[in-house]
Chains A and B, each alone.
Chain A
Amino acid sequence: MSDERELVIQPIVTESVQHNARIVSNIRALTASLFGVAAGTLGLESYPGFLFYFIGTALVSVLVYFFKAESKPQAYFYRPIGDLWGGDMFGGLMSFVLTWTLFYGLCKA
């Protein structure tokens, strides 16, 4: 109820919300494949590889926080915890695994 009241007092622009979500998910998709290239080249296997992905995703979140959101995530994301830090954490996982296995096969086999 208080959430609704807050939205009436300070309305948000849905076009901007969609635009921001699209940009962040583009960044995530691109960098996830990059992390896959790195993990495959380094020859990581099983848990260290996934750990590498999550460290990389956190790094990308920090970069977006400082360079794109100008340290004010509440001005650009409706729910900063979900949309910037946690959201899309698993969205790039499949492209990560794809390039990970490809480059592991290229460099190891």
Chain B
Amino acid sequence: MAIASIALNVIGVIFLSHAVYSAYEHSLLPSTSASPSSGSYLLSVLDPKVNLPVDITIETLVSVVLLCAGVVLSSANLKPIQWNVWAGNLERSKDARATKEVGVGGGNPYAALEERSGFLDIRGEMKGFAEWKNKGGEGRIEGKKA
């Protein structure tokens, strides 16, 4: 998939630059402004003043469609937003279980439940703080985590 999207992007860029350069060269031709009837049917429907040859028109449109598909395919995958689908993916994958931070493609999907402040051991925290203060306020607070 990655190689296909890179190939699409490269082909699209080549065709698009070729089409733009062709359009530029066409605009330099002295007969360009004199013959408005030589325009392609496709563009004269859209805009009657345009007189670009049909092959340049088709090349531009095709290359832009190719590039669009390439950009869409080469972008990162979307993540499921439903909690059960997302958490299920995390539970099943081994790499995600090894990651600790939540929100970087891993971590404990139930961290929000397990670290609720309602379960905080407030007496333990206060005791740790009192010990730390009695020792003169140096070093780290040795509070018992809930």
Contact = CB atoms under 8 A, between A and B. Distances in A.
A35 B84 contact: no
Give the interface centre of B71, B72, B79, B86 by most chain A CB atoms within 10 Å: B72
Binding site of B, secondary structure by majority: helix, strand, loop or mixed? helix
Binding site of A, secondary structure by majority: helix, strand, loop or mixed? helix
Contacts, number: 115
B127 interface: no
A90 interface: no
B96 interface: no
Contacts of B86: 13, 16
Interface of A: 10-13, 15-17, 19-20, 23, 26-27, 30-31, 34-35, 37-38, 41-45, 48, 51-52, 56, 59-60, 63-64, 67-69, 75-78, 103, 106-108
Interface in B80-94: 80-86
Given A10-B83, A43-B52, A103 B20 contact: yes
